[in-house]
Amino acid sequence: MAMKQGTWTLLLLGAAHSLNHSLFLVLPPLLEEISRDLGVSFQTIGLVTTVSFLLYGVGALVGGPLSDRFGEVRIAGLSITLSGVSTLVFLLPQGLPAFSAGMLLVAAWASFYHPITNTLINKLFVENTGGAMGVHGAAGSLGQIFTPTVAYLLGVYLNWRFAFVFFGILSMVAGLLFRVIPSPESTQRGSVPLLRVLAVPNIWVIILFNIFIGLFQRGVELFFPTFLTLNRGFSGQAAALANSVMLLFAVFGQLIGGWASDRFGSVKVVIVSSIGMVASILILLGPLGFIGAVLFILTFGVAFYGHQPAMTALLGRVSPREMMGTAYGLMFFFAFGLGSVSATIVGYIADAFDLERAFWIMAAFSAVALAIALVIPRIIKEDMANNEQALPG
């Protein structure tokens, strides 16, 4: 019975995970439309997105402690519900201020989600944490597959504002469903100072890796559909469909990464995935043109999303149980928060030069992430026989 309840909880979290990201995936396929409607440049949109994701990262530092005090399920439900409600701001009088306010409010409420749910999954699925993280991520990616295409069609044939509101309404419904999930027994032991978490052995290298992964992901995620239309000759609808196909392969990446993490160890999966990320961006920027774009969609979807369950499981292993929520908050702050500046970097280079050069900067970020991943085995020792973490000292 407990296993059945845990399975349903995981599936509901997967749906909420999908919507948490879908609220941000509405923007990329409609970037040109929104920029034209608001009369602003890509750099301006990139700046608003940077501030939003910075807030998305900072809020992760708040979500963990809140869930310790009031319960993971309650705060996760509140997060997904109010982030959906925030999309109604996009219906206010037209202009950049309303768009900016909408993005900031969505980011603020959505920011609580990741550290809370990753802590919850660690508590519910102790022996197969990687696999559970993979299922959670795959369920989220599966729902996101349709987001770019649905958002594009709603934005083009109705209005881009209705695209945001549509996914906002779905988020409200999902948030209300959280009320039927019983909260696990509280393990709250008081607030944990951030510096104390940073002093835990091995956490710093995970955080450093996630900074560059965030820098790589945010720029690619926001501008990839526009890159396809401006630099690879895709139509707007084809670019949105390509984004959806990439998320389809992300489902396989999450499942494979989670399974492989439990089977072969998280560190190995992180390294292999990092190699795949570098290879995918180089293929995209190489001389293959359309074929290179197709190969990028396939390889990036598996490689990038494959690292996520392994990395979240790895952080759970090196984090003391009483610090886990705060540790996840820190990881997502650095990945989503500091990583968000890449949106401004890409927007600036795209306006000043072109998106091709901007994506070469993203390639450099992925290469640095790979270099850090190759150092991880020397710092974090995993017993590959029983897949348990052996902490030094």
Which residues contact residue 251 at a Cβ distance below 8 angstroms, ignoring those fewer than 6 apart? 138, 141, 142, 145, 305
More confident residue, 147 or 280: 280
What is residue 94's DSSP assignment?
S
**142 vs 209, more confident:** 209
Percent of the chain having pLDDT more than 90? 12
Confidence of residue 190 (pLDDT cuts 50, 70, 90): low
User: For the residues 199-225, what does the mean pLDDT come to?
Assistant: 79
Neighbouring residues of 226: CB distance < 8 A, sequence distance ≥ 6: 28, 31, 32, 42, 239, 355
Read off the pLDDT of each residue in 208-228 and give the average, rounded to a whole number.
81
**Which tops the pLDDT comparison, 322 or 260?**
260
Q: Give the pLDDT band (50/70/90) at residue 282.
A: very high
- pLDDT in the model for residue 59: 83
Contact 181, 15 (CB under 8 A): no
Average pLDDT of the residues in 175-190: 65
Q: How confident is the model at residue 181 (pLDDT cuts 50, 70, 90)?
A: low
pLDDT for residue 267: 85
Provide mean pLDDT across the span 188-204: 63
Predicted confidence (pLDDT) at residue 166 exceeds the cutoff of 90:
yes
Q: Which of 19-28, 82-91, 188-197, 238-247 has the highest mean pLDDT?
A: 82-91
Q: pLDDT digit string (tens) for 39-48?
A: 888 878 878 8
**pLDDT for residue 212 is more than 80:** yes
Q: Is the pTM of this model over 0.75?
A: no
Give the C-alpha separation, 262 to 372, whole Å: 22
Please determine, for residue 149, whether its predicted confidence score (pLDDT) is greater than 50: yes
Please indicate whether residue 341 or residue 254 has the higher confidence score (pLDDT). 254
Q: What is the predicted pLDDT for the residue at 384?
A: 32
The CATH number given to 2-178+193-390 is: 1.20.1250.20
What pLDDT is attached to residue 381? 62
Local confidence band at 169 (pLDDT 50, 70, 90 cut-offs): very high
Residue 186, pLDDT score: 53
Q: What is the 3-state secondary structure (H, E, C) of 126-172?
A: CCCHHHHHHHHHHHHHHHHCCHHHHHHHHHHHCCHHHHHHHHHHHHH
State how far the Cα of 50 lies from the Cα of 48, in Å rounded to an integer: 5
At residue 258, the pLDDT reads 82
